[in-house]
Chains A and B, each alone.
Chain A
Amino acid sequence: MKQLLVFILFATLFCWLMFSPVYKHVAVLRQALLQQEADYMLEIGASGRFGYIDGAMIAASRERLSQYGFQPEQLEYEVTTTNGLSGTDPAAPLERGSGLRLVIRYPYDGLMNIDRLIGVEPPLSTARLAAAGMKMSEYVP
């Protein structure tokens, strides 16, 4: 009986130790997916054909990311430029020499709440996973 009890204790302890931090990889993976998306959008947006990241591109990006399980309405996109233009207007593309900057943000979604069990405070509800980048536009009118 004692042997059985020890076995059960050991089994639960080791299972918990092995698998408890696995959920952190969800955060790592989401961050990587956001970064991949930001890189792709900058590559396209700052290319010689466009010079902007407009609403249609952002909508397409939400669609792509939702296929990986992101909630499309919770994704936040922020486009800024180094010369003061909005960078989102197809009628006023960013000319070569100016930088196009994109930040994509997504909430942690309570992923770290389970950390409370071991006394670690999760990130604030206002904190966001973010992926960013700045690329020089190649667009020449």
Chain B
Amino acid sequence: MHKLVFSFLMIVIWWLLHAMQLEEETALGTLHEGKRAVDRAAHAAAQQVDRLKLEAGTLSIDPMAAQAAARAYLAANLRLEPDLEPRAGEWLDAKPEIVDFAVINEQNVFPYTYRNAAYDYEVTLRRPGVVLIVHLACPRVFGVMDAIEWDLKGTAELVIA
């Protein structure tokens, strides 16, 4: 009898371990996907040159266009609706939150060091650029692990051809 109980116990423990491992794997995949999306969003935002200022010879980023581009690329790469709401049938089930969006423009002296103590982030830019921090919650399938949430940070400089 006790052997039967033992084998049932082992079945439960093994399956829990497998569930946990699958969940960790998918969480890591989600983390990388999120980081890529944030990087591409920052990259797209940093390409939004202000044309009026460019005519005057100043390289500068248009903050409004940059924000729109960042949101559009974040949504496209995370497969969300344009307003960042989760799409039915897709993997992410919570809206990512843009917690910091900084456009560092020509008013600053370069190299400029951006510091954000709240999110423990520091980056040095040599040209005008964009810093983006997004809070992302990872969906869980089995609920074996505690909730996983990240603050994903990305930076991009204006690309000068």
Contacts and interface: CB of A to CB of B under 8 A. Distances in A.
A29 to B, nearest CB: 10
25 contacts: A10-B7, A13-B7, A14-B14, A17-B10, A21-B22, A24-B22, A28-B29, A35-B32, A48-B159, A96-B161, A97-B47, A97-B48, A99-B73, A99-B76, A132-B77, A133-B40, A133-B77, A134-B40, A134-B76, A135-B40, A135-B43, A136-B40, A136-B69, A138-B47, A140-B161
A33 B55 CA distance: 44
Interface in A5-46: 6, 10, 13-14, 17-18, 21, 24-25, 28, 31-32, 35, 39
A136 B161 contact: no
Contacts of A6: 3
Contacts of A24: 22
Contacts of B36: 39, 133
Interface string B149-161: 0000000000101
Interface string A94-118: 0011010100000000000000000
A25 B24 CA distance: 12
B44 interface: yes
Contacts of B43: 135-136
Given A24-B22, A136-B44, A14 B10 contact: yes
A99 B36 CA distance: 15
B15 interface: yes
Chain A: interface size category = 20 to 34
Interface of A: 6, 10, 13-14, 17-18, 21, 24-25, 28, 31-32, 35, 39, 48, 96-97, 99, 101, 132-136, 138, 140
A16 to B, nearest CB: 9
A134 B11 contact: no
Nearest to B3: A6
Nearest to B39: A135
A76 B14 CA distance: 37
Contacts of A31: 29
A48 B161 CA distance: 7
A17 B15 contact: yes
B100 interface: no
Given A17-B10, A17-B15, A138-B159, 19 more contacts: A10-B3, A13-B7, A13-B10, A17-B14, A21-B18, A31-B29, A39-B36, A96-B47, A97-B48, A99-B44, A99-B73, A132-B77, A133-B77, A134-B40, A135-B40, A136-B44, A136-B73, A138-B161, A140-B161
